[in-house]
Chains A and B, each alone.
Chain A
Amino acid sequence: MYTASDLRKGLRIKMENDPYIVTEFNFVKPGKGQALYRCKLKNMINGNQFERTFRSVDIFEAADLQEKKMSYLYQEEGKFCFMDNESYEQIFLSEDQVGEAKNFLLDNIEAEILLFEDRPLGVSLPNFIDVIVTKADPWAKGDSVSGNTKPVTIQTGYQLQVPPFIEEGEKIRIDTRSGEYLTRVKG
Chain B
Amino acid sequence: MFEGYSWAELGSIFAMQGFAGLSLFSVLVLMALGLAIIFGQMGVINMAHGEFMILGAYVTYLCSNFFAENLPALFSGYFLIAMLLAFLASASLGALVEWGLIRHLYKRPLDTLLATWGLSLILQQVYRSVFGAREVGVTLPDWLMGSFAVTDMIEIPINGVFVMFLTLGITAGVWLWNFRSSWGTQMRAVVQNRVMAGAVGIDTERIDRLTFAIGCGIAGIAGSAFTMIGSTGPTSGQLYIVDTFLVVVFGGAQSLLGTIFSAFAISQSQSTMEFFLSGSMAKVLTLLTVVTILMIRPQGLMSLRVRA
A complexed with B = no
Enumerate chain A interface residues (CB-CB to B < 8 A).
none
Task: Give the interface of B toward A (CB within 8 A).
Answer: none
